[in-house]
């Protein structure tokens, strides 16, 4: 197994959508520009993704996903850390996320739970917040 990490390019969209849909993650609101995403490949096979989409002065952590057969290899952490480092270079000082299943994972990485009504307007206006993720989803934030 020779895992490599690359910034996403437009030609990766179909593979990214396939990975995310296979893991029951939303794709309807993926940004047209995927340059904020880091992807993990095993050869030519896309096996992981993560991105921080700039939303105003904050960032929305998106699509931290690893194919099931590639889990427990540290890929999610490497993808997540790459996305956070990229966000810092762009001047983003707060990262927000919405999750149905991974709140414990993100708490271990410094995120704190936040009541939905305390999310900034830029985050509250996203498709994920408004409807793609259910109102029962956990909203979290990390200060960089």
Domain range annotation of the chain: 3-143
Domain 3-143 part of CATH 3.40.630.30: yes
Which is higher by pLDDT, 131 or 128? 128
Contacts of 104 by beta carbon, 8 Å cutoff, 6+ apart:
none
End-to-end CA distance of the chain: 33
| φ/ψ of residue 115, rounded to 5 | -65, 140
Per-residue model confidence as pLDDT tens digits over 35-52? 999 999 999 999 999 999
Whole-model pTM over 0.85? yes
Task: Label residue 33 by pLDDT band (50, 70, 90).
Answer: confident
């Amino acid at each position: 197994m020779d895992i490599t990490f690359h910034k996403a390019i437009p030609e990766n969209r179909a593979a990214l959508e396939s990975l995310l849909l296979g893991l029951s993650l939303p794709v309807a609101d993926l940004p047209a520009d995927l340059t904020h995403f880091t992807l993990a490949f095993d050869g030519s096979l896309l096996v992981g993704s993560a991105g921080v989409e700039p939303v105003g002065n904050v960032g929305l952590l998106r699509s931290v996903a690893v194919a099931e057969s590639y889990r427990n290899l540290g890929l999610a952490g490497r993808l997540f850390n790459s996305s956070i480092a990229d966000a810092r270079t762009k001047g983003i000082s707060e990262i927000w996320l919405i999750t149905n299943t991974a709140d414990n994972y993100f708490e271990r990485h410094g995120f704190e739970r936040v009541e939905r009504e305390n999310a900034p307007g830029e985050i509250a206006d996203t498709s994920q917040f408004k409807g793609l993720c259910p109102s029962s989803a956990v909203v979290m934030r990390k200060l960089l």
